[in-house]
Amino acid sequence: MTQSFTPVSSIGEFGLIDRIERLLPDPLQNENIVCGIGDDAAVYRASDGLLQVITTDALIEGVHFDRALTPMSYLGAKAVTVNVSDIVAMNARPKLATISLGVPRNMSVEMVEALYTGISDACSSYDVTLVGGDTTSAQALYLAITMVGEGADDQIVFRRGAREGDVICVSGDLGAAYAGLQVLLDQKRALDEMGEAYEPDLEAQRKVIDRQLAPLARLDFLGVLEEFNIHPTSMIDISDGLASEIHHICRQSQTGATIRIATLPIDPVTRAVADQFMDDVDTYVFYGGEDYELLLTASPEDGARLEKGGHVAIIGEVLDADSGVHAFSPEAGLIPLEGAGYDHFEQPFSGDGI
């Protein structure tokens, strides 16, 4: 198959913006948008009586992803997802987004178009309107999305509200995205060694590869909280690993916590991948990250209702601050849980991360 490669330089910045605009639905289809793409700034009508929530998150080649391992459309969708996930973690609904795009010279117009197909599809699946952006040349591909959301005054949930006696809940299984990354890196090594002779068979691991390449934000979970009429005392999305996130909640709420290892929801495929690489699957859960599930605290009654409905797993309890943050297993007892998840300034990038 020959793929066309139109150099970005052949159509220029404004040509590229035109192409991008054509790939996106017209922002004016959203009745709250007064002016979308084409002016100095987008203009929108804010909803009456709701709080606005704003977040921004960037994905940078060589830091967050390896272009060789990441199809462009998946990358675009993931950039949207990570921002939606942050808005959802406030118990708010995402509404609008802008995107800053840094395009390296060796990227083609077709690649940018594939990127925007992913961005556009993800935006429509989360009901987000893309109202503008900025385009520059760059040394490495980067996408920085800013997203605006909204929620009722009394509905927004912060990291700071956990109370001693609350239960700790998680909205889905953990460690899968990191397992997927291990499989992809292994594939890359095999491909480098064997070249064309290499025939990957990834069916068994498809599930965890998808969790790495095409994660989904839990926008649907807002509906669950509404249906059960439950207001979590605190909430955070799991982007850097469970250990890091529980520490954020405990620090901001001035509490301690114990996570019960036996209760962690882990998919059998995630376990199988950890076994294959002779890793301890719990480290995937605590330090792997990129699961984009929600970690929340709630009263024991609310937690039990959500668990009974099949919407969360209860994985621990909130304690007083002096108790510290631990993981617990019957065999090992209380193990102090270090807070470090992925930290950009602690782990030098090895060049093969994603």
Angle 320-321-325 from CA coordinates, rounded to 5°: 100
Pick out residues in 69-128 that bind ligand ADP (CB under 6 A): 99, 101
DSSP 45: P
Q: Choose which of 102, 133, 149, 303 interacts with ligand ADP (CB under 6 A).
A: 133
The item of ligand ADP, Mg ion, none sharing an interface with residue 20, based on CB under 5 to 8 Å by kind, is ligand ADP
Q: Give yes or no for a contact between 130 and 17, defined as CB atoms under 8 angstroms apart.
A: no
And the tokens for 123?
A: 């935006």
- Closer residue to Mg ion in complex, CB, 39/301: 39
Rounded Cα distance between 110 and 23, Å, is 12
Establish if 132 lies at the interface with ligand ADP (CB under 6 A).
Answer: yes
Rounded Cα distance between 312 and 323, Å, is 25
Q: Give the x/- contact pattern for Mg ion in 129-168, rule: CB under 5 A.
A: -----x----------------------------------
- Closer residue to Mg ion in complex, CB, 14/345: 14
CB of 38 to ligand ADP, least distance (A): 5
The item of Mg ion, ligand ADP, none sharing an interface with residue 25, based on CB under 5 to 8 Å by kind, is none
Backbone phi and psi for residue 28, each to the nearest 5 degrees, phi listed first: -70, -10
Establish if 22 lies at the interface with ligand ADP (CB under 6 A).
Answer: no
Q: Give yes or no for a contact between 133 and 100, defined as CB atoms under 8 angstroms apart.
A: yes
344 Cβ contact partners less than 8 Å away, ≥ 6 residues apart: 63
Establish if 39 lies at the interface with Mg ion (CB under 5 A).
Answer: no
According to the 3-state scheme, what is the secondary structure of 60-119?
A: EECCCECCCCCCHHHHHHHHHHHHHHHHHCCCCEEEEEEEEEEECCCCEHHHHHHHHHHH
Establish if 135 lies at the interface with ligand ADP (CB under 6 A).
Answer: yes
Establish if 241 lies at the interface with ligand ADP (CB under 6 A).
Answer: no
CB of 114 to ligand ADP, least distance (A): 14
Q: Which residue has the tokens 């639905």?
A: 25
CA 116 vs. chain centroid, Å, equals: 18
Number of residues that bind ligand ADP (CB under 6 A): 12
Establish if 26 lies at the interface with ligand ADP (CB under 6 A).
Answer: no
Q: Choose which of 25, 34, 46, 134 interacts with ligand ADP (CB under 6 A).
A: 134
Pick out residues in 27-66 that bind ligand ADP (CB under 6 A): 37-40
Could you list the residues that contact ligand ADP (CB under 6 A)? Answer: 17, 20, 37-40, 99, 101, 132-135
- Give residues in contact with Mg ion (CB under 5 A): 134
